[in-house]
Amino acid sequence: MNRINAFVTMPASLSDQNNQPQGPAHKLKKILPFFSASRDHALGWGEEIRLEVEAWPSATMPGPFQTKQPPPIRAATCAIRPLTRRLPMKRLLLTILLTLPLTSQAIDLENGKKLSRSCALCHGIYGQGTPGPASPRLAGTPAGYMTKQIEAYIRGDRLNPRMVITSSLRSLSEDDIDDISAYYASINLETIAPRLAEIPLWPGAIDAGKAIYNEECKSCHRKNGMGKSRKSIPALALQYSQYLFRQIKMFQWKQRVHDDDPEDDTFDEFDDRQVESILAYISSLAPNNKK
């Protein structure tokens, strides 16, 4: 059984067949226990219900790239129009399950692996990256976050002309970008190359950095620094400190947007010593530094 996340949008002006405002009807979460809706919208009768469906395979991936969460099948969109005022629950469920396989396309990890060869020149064969400010770790990065960053480079919102050219980013299709992102998200360095997974401990005032991190970073990147993959928030604890330092400076210089908010001022008042304290604490959260 696939797990399905659905986001339901319905026109606010819809009325039922008696020209009355939308009544109680059934809520999606009650109709489908494995169904997650962005809002608790009620299903009115007679309107078109548009679902953006993201399906996940029921089993994790086999082999060395096994992860706790498998890469998603590409989002599929389907439209359902109830034919009667009282649509039976089983009929709605059957309609969704029959529509999904016809509209979704599986991620092609082999294609992602093949396309990643141009990335490996700088980021390493497993996407492990290199200590330094220029070649970050890609392995284990949430697919949604990576897709967003690739698209930002293609649009020119993030600048690295040499990388864009050498990796031929502008020649990639949307499916190619999804495949590359899913491939890197599937790599678990601790499983296939533990030594490559290690993050060096950054020198600095760890306790001072912890206080700043808990106030400014913990709500998004979690207490353990491992991010939130379902929300496309990357794991800071698995990234090289030199790269993070450079990105924080770019946020300060307004050369990169933090948290999708051009007005974000999270790092504006931090001096370099405070930034290094934050990084010292984040690096202490890396699995190899907690042992």
pLDDT, tens only, 180-222: 999 999 999 999 999 999 999 999 999 999 999 999 999 999 9
* Pairing outcome for strands 26-27 and 42-43: antiparallel
pLDDT of residue 243: 98
pLDDT of residue 31: 29
Cα distance between residue 264 and residue 273, in whole Å: 21
| Beta-ladder partners of 80 | 49
pLDDT of residue 88: 53
pLDDT of residue 290: 85
198-291 — its CATH code? 1.10.760.10
- Residue-level length of the chain: 291
pLDDT of residue 106: 87
Rounded (10°) CA dihedral 290, 193, 229, 209: 30
pTM comes to 0.66
Please, are residues 166 and 155 in contact by the beta-carbon 8 Å criterion?
no
pLDDT of residue 63: 40
Give residue limits of the domains in the chain.
Answer: 3-103, 107-196, 198-291
Cα distance between residue 272 and residue 248, in whole Å: 10
Which residue type occupies 250?
A: M
| Beta-ladder partners of 55 | 4
198-291 has the same fold as 107-196: yes
Q: Is 275 strand, coil or helix?
A: helix
The CATH fold of domain 107-196: Cytochrome Bc1 Complex; Chain D, domain 2 (1.10.760)
| Spans in the chain with pLDDT lower than 70 | 1-105, 291
Provide the H-helix boundaries in the chain: 28-31, 89-103, 109-115, 117-123, 143-155, 161-166, 174-185, 189-192, 206-216, 218-221, 241-252, 272-284, 287-290
Cα distance between residue 138 and residue 87, in whole Å: 46
